[in-house]
A and B are shown apart, each in its own frame.
Chain A
C-alpha cells in the first residue's frame, strides 16, 4: 500500500464507523477539491452508493463554474442532493471583522439547515494542514446545541477508537479527510481522475488554490495549468493555502472565533 492507499483506507474506515454508529447523517459539499475527493471516497466506502444526503449550504456568491459543476455531478453521481440557503448578513455577529462576518453567514445557514433536517451529524472535508485550529480537530468532533466547538476539552481518540456515543442533542462533525494534505488531495484527484473545477488551473498567471465566495476569495500567482504542475508548485511553494481567504487574516484569533462558533 502506498501513501494514497493508506489515506484512502483510513477515510473509508471513518466513513463506515460514522455510518454504523450515528443515525441521520449528511455530507457537506462545497464543490471544491476536498469535498469532491470526499464524495469519491464515500462511493468507495459504500461500493458505489452514497447512502446519505449531500448538502450544499449556498451563500449565492459562488463562481458560476461552481454552480455548473454542482448541477452536473449531483445528477451524474446519483446524489441525494439538498441545497440550503444562507441567511442575510444582518443576522450575523456585527463585532466580527467584515470578511469574517461574511463567512459567518455560512455558519448561520448551516445551523438552520441542521435544524430543518434534524441531522445529528455532518461529514465535513476539512484537513489538519489547512490551518492551525483545524490541526487540533478530532475525527469525531462533538458540538454544542448551537454548533459551538469546545476546543479546550476534546475527547481522546486513539487506536482508531473514536468517540461515537453522545448524549441526546449533541451535534457531531465527522472529518474523513482530516489526515490528508493539500498535495495528497491533488495526487489522489490525479490518480482517480476525479473531475475538478477549472478555476484551480492557472489563467493569465493566476489560479485559485482554495475556492470560497467570489467576494472574499482571491487567486494566487501561478502558472500551473495541469494537476501535475499544481503538485510541482505545491512541492516548492512557501505560500500558505488559505492566504487567498481574507477572513483568516483579519485579526490574530478571527478564524479561531469563527470555528469555535461552528464555522468549518
Chain B
C-alpha cells in the first residue's frame, strides 16, 4: 500500500468515551384509526424544529398532487399504498430530539388488521403515548392497545386526548374521557402517568403550552415524554443468561449469549437448566483491537458476551444459565396469557413450537381456559382462539423447560409460538396452580450403589401365583377412589391375592406428614407414593393407590418408577356429581374459601390422556365397578 493511499484512510483519534453520547428513549404512539397519531407526530416535529429541510414542502406537494388538504400523516406513511389509502399499514420510526435527550418515535398502526405490526412497534419501546379522539371518546382499539401494551411489559404510559378544538376545549368532556379511560387502565393494572388535553392540528399542548385550556395545569406532551426514563437493564436481579450458541473457531470453546438479567463474574459456579449441569466461569472472552486491553472479569444484563468454562461439559443453545441459589423453574406444564396473531386460529390439542429466549421445543395446547374480551375484560370459553384475541391457556411440553413467571423475571417469562414457519402469537407465563418440578428430578444423594436382590422377579411371581404391580387410581375428590380401592382390596384378598391399599389421607399421617397442599408439596407427595407403590410391586404385591394426583407429570413419573406393571385407572365422575356426594365436606369448605388450591374448584385436575382403564362411577353402580376391576386384575396379573 502506497503512502498516498494510506493518507486516504483515516484512523480516528483515540477517544474511548465521547461525552457526547446522549440518552435515547423509544416512544410508541398508539391509538384508534383517525384519532390523530400522525398529525400529533407531525406537529411535534414541526414545533420542535426537527423537520429536515424541504420535508414540509415535499409533503405539501404530495398533498396537492392528490388534491387533499395538507396531511401530516405523509411524514411517517412512507409507502405509496399508505398515502393513497390514508392508513398506516406498517410500523415506522422517526427521530427527534429535545434539550433533554434523543427520541425514537415509533408509529404503530391503529387498524385492527395490522395488530401484528402494532405489536412489533410497541414491543421495542420504553414508553407509550396513547391517543384518544376527544370527539369520539374511548374506542375498542383504545382499550385493546392499552391492554396489549401492559401485556408486552410497557409500564410508562401517557394519554393524549386529541382534537380538543373540535369540542371547544370543554373541560367537562375531557374529564369524562379521562375518567373512563383511567378506570379501564386501572382495572388492568396500568397507571397512566399523564392524561393531557391537546389539539395536534392547532398545536395546543404538544410542544407549547396553550391559552385555549387555562383549566389544564399539567405538562405538554414533550415535557411529559422528557419525564419518562429509558428502560434500565435489570442488573440487580438473579442471573438469567440464555445460551445462544457455542463457538469453536479456534482453541477456545466459547459459550455465547446475552445476559438478560443479573450478572456473572469469572470464578462463579453456573447452573445450566434444564440439563441441571454446572461448571465454573474460567474467562469472559472479548475481542478488541486496543493493544493491552484486558478482558473483563464480570458482565451484566444487556451485554452480549462469551464465556469459557473450567470443565468441558456438553452445553447447547437453549440452556438457561443461572446461579444455583436462584435457579429458574423447571416444568413441562404452565399457564399462559397469550395474544394470537396467526392467520389460523389456535386450537385446543394442537401442537406448536415455543421459542422461549433461545430455547425451542414443541408444546401442545392442553386447554383453553378462557378468551378475554379486552374491551370489558369479560371471559368466555371456547375451543379455539381467533386472530387478534387474548386468551388464558395451559401449555404442555414433552420435556422439561427452564423458565420463569413473567411477574418475577419478564425476559425468561415470555415466549412466542410458531405455527409452521410463522410467529403466530406471544405470551407471558404464570405457574398458578402448577408445581416447580425441579426438586422432583434433582438427585441430591451421591455415592449410591444399588444392591442386587438375591431373589428375582419370576421367583416371587411363582411363589405368589400372580404378578406384582401398581393399580394407580386417579380422579377428583369424591369420585369414589377410596371406596373402590377398599372394596377391590377385599375381593382380591379373598381370591388369594397379596394386595394392599395406599390411601392419600393415611400416607399423609405418616410418610408425608411434613407436606402441605401447595403445588410443589402435592407433587412431592405423589412422587413418594409412586416410589413406595413401585417397591410394593417389585416385592410381588398388588399396590392399589388412591390419590387425586391431579397433575399428569406426577402420574407419568409414578409410571416410570413403577416399571412395567403399572396401570393408570381413571375413576371418573364430573365435578357436579362429586360435589353432590362430598363425603368429607371438602367441597363445601372449598366453596366457602376455607381450603385453598382445591382440585376441581380452585386448582387444576388434568384428566389422563390414555389411562389403561376408565371407571365411570357417575354412570355405573359400585358393585359393577368392582366387578370390572376384578376382571381387569385377573387378566393383567395372571402368571
A binds B: yes
A-B contact count (CB 8 A): 192
B93 CB to closest chain A CB (Å) equals 5
- The distance in angstroms between the C-alpha atoms of A16 and B306, with both chains bound, is 11
Q: Which residue of A lies closest to B52 (CB)?
A: A240
Q: Does B541 contact A (CB under 8 A)?
A: no
In the complex, chain A residues 141-170 whose Cβ is within 8 Å of any chain B Cβ: 151-152, 154-159, 161, 163, 165-167
| Contact indicator A238/B51 (Cβ below 8 Å) | yes
- The distance in angstroms between the C-alpha atoms of A135 and B120, with both chains bound, is 13
Q: Which residues of chain B come closer than 8 Å to A181, judged between CB atoms?
A: 95
- The distance in angstroms between the C-alpha atoms of A65 and B244, with both chains bound, is 39
- The distance in angstroms between the C-alpha atoms of A68 and B2, with both chains bound, is 10
In the complex, chain B residues 367-425 whose Cβ is within 8 Å of any chain A Cβ: 411, 414-416, 418, 420-423
Q: Which residues of chain B come closer than 8 Å to A72, judged between CB atoms?
A: 1, 5, 9
B385 CB to closest chain A CB (Å) equals 16
Asked if A3 meets B21 with Cβ closer than 8 Å, knowing A136-B79, A151-B90, A154-B90, the reply is yes
| Contact indicator A187/B302 (Cβ below 8 Å) | no
Q: In the complex, identify which listed stretch (A4-12, A80-88, A91-99, A113-121) lies at the interface while the others stay far away.
A: A4-12
Q: Does B245 contact A (CB under 8 A)?
A: yes
Q: Which residues of chain A come closer than 8 Å to B304, judged between CB atoms?
A: 8-10, 12-13, 16, 45
| Contact indicator A13/B258 (Cβ below 8 Å) | yes
Q: Does B335 contact A (CB under 8 A)?
A: no
Q: Does B14 contact A (CB under 8 A)?
A: yes
Q: Which residues of chain B come closer than 8 Å to A197, judged between CB atoms?
A: 8-10
A244 CB to closest chain B CB (Å) equals 13
Q: How many residues of B contact A (CB 8 A)?
A: 79
Q: Does B168 contact A (CB under 8 A)?
A: no
Q: Which residues of chain B come closer than 8 Å to A231, judged between CB atoms?
A: 18, 20
Interface size class of A (residues with CB under 8 A): 35 or more
Q: Which residues of chain B come closer than 8 Å to A9, judged between CB atoms?
A: 258, 302-304
Q: Does A213 contact B (CB under 8 A)?
A: no
Q: Which residues of chain A come closer than 8 Å to B416, judged between CB atoms?
A: 158-159, 161
- The distance in angstroms between the C-alpha atoms of A43 and B8, with both chains bound, is 23
Q: Does A90 contact B (CB under 8 A)?
A: no
Q: Does B289 contact A (CB under 8 A)?
A: yes
Asked if A156 meets B12 with Cβ closer than 8 Å, knowing A20-B244, A49-B249, the reply is no
Interface 1/0s, chain A 55-74, versus B by CB < 8 A? 00000000001001100100
A177 CB to closest chain B CB (Å) equals 14
Interface 1/0s, chain B 147-180, versus A by CB < 8 A? 0000010000000000000000000000000000
| Contact indicator B426/A187 (Cβ below 8 Å) | no
Q: Which residues of chain B come closer than 8 Å to A6, judged between CB atoms?
A: 302
Q: Which residues of chain A come closer than 8 Å to B215, judged between CB atoms?
A: none
Q: Does B23 contact A (CB under 8 A)?
A: yes
B452 CB to closest chain A CB (Å) equals 46
Q: Does A48 contact B (CB under 8 A)?
A: yes
Q: Does A252 contact B (CB under 8 A)?
A: yes
Q: Which residues of chain B come closer than 8 Å to A49, judged between CB atoms?
A: 249-250
A-B complex: 10 closest residue pairs judged by Cβ atoms: A132-B78, A158-B123, A12-B304, A156-B116, A68-B5, A198-B8, A9-B304, A240-B52, A161-B416, A49-B249
Interchain Cβ contacts under 8 Å between A and B, 24 examples: A4-B21, A12-B258, A12-B304, A17-B244, A20-B317, A44-B287, A45-B304, A68-B1, A69-B8, A69-B9, A135-B78, A138-B120, A156-B426, A157-B120, A158-B120, A190-B12, A190-B15, A191-B16, A193-B289, A195-B10, A196-B11, A196-B12, A197-B10, A253-B80
Q: Given known contacts A133-B78, A193-B12, what 5 new A-B pairs fall within 8 Å (CB)?
A: A68-B9, A69-B8, A156-B119, A158-B119, A159-B152
The interface of chain A, by Cβ under 8 A from chain B, is: 1-6, 8-10, 12-13, 16-17, 19-20, 43-49, 51, 65, 68-69, 72, 128-129, 132-133, 135-136, 138, 151-152, 154-159, 161, 163, 165-167, 181, 187, 189-199, 201, 226-228, 231, 238-240, 252-253, 256
